[in-house]
Amino acid sequence: MYYRFVLDRVFILGVPVDKVSSAQVCDLILQFTSGSQQKHIATPNSEMLVEASKNKAFKDLLNRTDLNIPDSAGLILASKFIKNPLIERVTGVDTVKKTCSKLDSKNSVFLLGAGSGVAEKAAENLKKDNPEIVIAGTYSGSPKPEDSEEIINRINECKPSILLVAYGAPAQEFWIDKYLNKMPSVRVAMGIGGTLDFIAGTVKRAPKIMRVLNLEWLFRLITQPWRFKRVWKAVVVFPFKVLTKSK
Ligand code: UDP
């Protein structure tokens, strides 16, 4: 029985976010890999919910994904504000690392997206930490429709059960939504944003103390100042929308 029948969800700006713990997410992914249906997992954060509030197609998509895990501190705070608290923050990077540590050789993983050489380096690091893991393949590709045929052929050639897509939101979610049914071996597809950069070590994660204090946005602003607009959306626009209950 899937957690779906047990899991509760909280709606934030019209998008359902699942009340799941990090451990439950891993169990679920493992459960999904042996299921008969294909599952799309999204990792919404504050910025994605701001995007969804302006982009109906994206909001509709996030209302039909199979699992939406709360990937930002902002969602946890928002859920507390609307008095329907989420369990905990479950980041994409921790989910990928934890899941990979539990996979057996029956399940293989394909890493799609990120900059040139990043997925390969991430695969190397995942393999170092988990010698048992089967990395079916890696490919940078692009979310452009004209590249989809090549990507799908590559994925179908190595038949992974788990597909991790790092094209950033909302491109990765639209890509999965459009093409998942063309890759029959894939049981679980998940949009993972900058996760491969973190695992490859090409982008540094905020120090633990900043993560604990919910200051990851400040670290990103200092280390990647060009992300100002995105940080503004997450730190100013998102709370404003939640506080004013605007949709
Ligand atoms: N990316 C890509 N192709 C594109 C656009 C983005 O491979 O056309 C990758 C990019 O290199 C990065 C990831 O998508 O690895 C998105 O990372 P970002 O930091 O934006 O994600 P976040 O974790 O902030 O959502």
Indicate the domain borders of the chain.
Answer: 3-200
Distance CA 75, CA 73 (A): 5
- Predicted structure pTM score: 0.95
114 C-beta closer than 6 A to ligand 1 = yes
SS3 24: helix
> Which ligand 1 atom sits closest to the C-alpha of 113?
7
Ligand 1 mutation target, pool 197, 199, 219, most atoms within 8 A of CB: 197
Cα radius of gyration (the chain): 17
Cα-to-centroid distance, 113 and ligand 1 (Å): 8
* Intervals of the chain under pLDDT 50: 1
197 C-beta closer than 6 A to ligand 1 = yes
Q: Evaluate whether 169 touches 47 at the Cβ level (below 8 Å).
A: yes
For residue 134, the tally of other CB atoms under 10 A from its CB is 17
Cβ-proximal residues to 166 (8 Å cutoff; 6+ apart), any chain: 111, 112, 113, 114, 118, 119, 172, 191, 192, 193, 194, 195, 196, 197
199 C-beta closer than 6 A to ligand 1 = no
Residue 1 pLDDT: 46
Q: How is domain 3-200 classified at the CATH fold level?
A: Rossmann fold (3.40.50)
> Which ligand 1 atom sits closest to the C-alpha of 220?
24
Distance CA 54, CA 70 (A): 20
